[in-house]
Amino acid sequence: MRVRCAPTNGTLYADPRRTPALQLRTIALVLLALTVLPPAAAVAQSAWTADPQVQQRLTAGEVVVAAGTPADPQHPRGLVQAAVRISASPEAIWKVLTDCQQALTYVPGLLGCRRIDGAPDGSWADIEHVVHYSWMLPTVRYVFHAEYQRPNRIDFHRISGDLKEEQGTWLLTPSPDGSSTLVQYEVYIDPGFWVPQFLVHRSLRKDLPAALNGLRERVEAVDGSATR
């Protein structure tokens, strides 16, 4: 969803009137208010996307979401992974993925993004997000710590705020010919409050693909403009 989102100075806010009725978190996504994924599963990301059927769907331009059965008692909400192929370099995607101002243009429900602290060398940052999941739920404010391995990996976890727990990973893997990048996302979120089950299913079916499609469209638009 946490997204991640990024090192910029000052606080940025989106117009809440433009927020859709059903919204999700971000990059941190912010992308899954209700679904989860332990970051320890990051090593398994490449394995599930290597499946020929998944590769075919990614090549066709689809956002692929994989949900598993909860197995870890410490993470009872289960497992969710998502992937999309973007026609841009990891560096071009990184610039959008770690920019709060950019995130406000494509992440549904993200109302505010602010860099709290960070390393001078850009290796980590503490980011505050303000998110409105849905008209049925309250606005949520939280801070997460992001570790950056530019331009290929972001690991993040909640350090304060309204969410009970949040942790996840972004992986950016270039294709062998350099023409595209496989973007893989995983997150574990425990909002700390009860959420209707139907919102979980709608989040998986619509919101996560919409957010990753929004990332792709934004990256390709910005990268194309830079090229021109």
Q: Which residue has the higher pLDDT, 45 or 27?
A: 45
3-state per-residue secondary structure call for the chain: CCCCCCCCCCEEECCHHHCCCECCCECEECCCCCCCCCHHHHHHHHHHHCCHHHHHHHHCCCCEEEEECCCCCCCCCCEEEEEEEECCCHHHHHHHHCCHHHHHHHCCCEEEEEEEEECCCCCEEEEEEEEECECCCCEEEEEEEEEEECCCEEEEEEEEECCCEEEEEEEEEECCCCCCEEEEEEEEEECCCCCCHHHHHHHHHHHHHHHHHHHHHHHHHHHHHHHC
pLDDT digits (tens, 9 = 90+) for 185-220: 987 777 776 766 566 556 666 778 888 999 999 999
Average confidence (pLDDT) over 6-30? 38
pLDDT digits (tens, 9 = 90+) for 101-136: 898 888 878 899 999 999 999 999 999 999 886 666
Instruction: Report pTM.
Output: 0.76
Does the domain at residues 11-227 carry the CATH identifier 3.20.20.70? no
Provide the pLDDT confidence category of residue 19 given band limits of 50, 70 and 90. Answer: very low
